[in-house]
Structure 1
Amino acid sequence: MIIAGDLNCCLYKCTTDSSGQRLHRLLTTYGMSIANTQHPTYRPAGSLLDIVAVSHPEQLLRAGVTRCHYGTPHDCTRVVLRCAGRTRPTCPVVWRRRLGRIDADGFNLLLANTDWSSVFRAQHTADKWEALRQIFLGQLDTVAPVTRVQQRAKGSISVSAPTRDLMARRRLALRPGSDREVYKELNRQCRAAVRRDQEAHMQRELTKAGPSKVWQVLRPIIGCKKEAAVPNATPDALNDYYVGIGLTTAASVPKPAVPVPIRLPRVTTSGFRPQPIDIETLGQLLLNMKPSNSTGIDGVSVNMLQKFFWVNGAALPLCRLLHQMN
Structure 2
Amino acid sequence: MVASHPGATLVLAGDLNCCLLKPAADSPGHRLTRLLTTYGLRIANTEHPTYRPANSLLDVIATSRPDLVTRAGVTRCQYGTPHDFTRLVLRCGGAGRPSRPTVQRRCLQKVDSEQLNLQLSEADWSPVLLRERPADKWEEFRAIFLSQLDGVAPVTRVRLSPPGAPPLTADTRQLLAERRQALQAGGQRDRYKELNRQCRGAIRRDQTAHYQRELDKAGPGSVWRVLRPIIGSKKETAVPSATPDALNDYYVSIGPATAASVPRPAATVPVRLPRVTTSGFRPQPIDLDTLCLVLWSMKPSRATGLDGISVDMFRRYFWGTGQILLDMINTSLR
Using structure 2 for the length normalisation, give the TM-score: 0.47
Using structure 1 for the length normalisation, give the TM-score: 0.48
Q: Please tell me whether Structure 1 or Structure 2 has the larger radius of gyration of its CA atoms.
A: 2
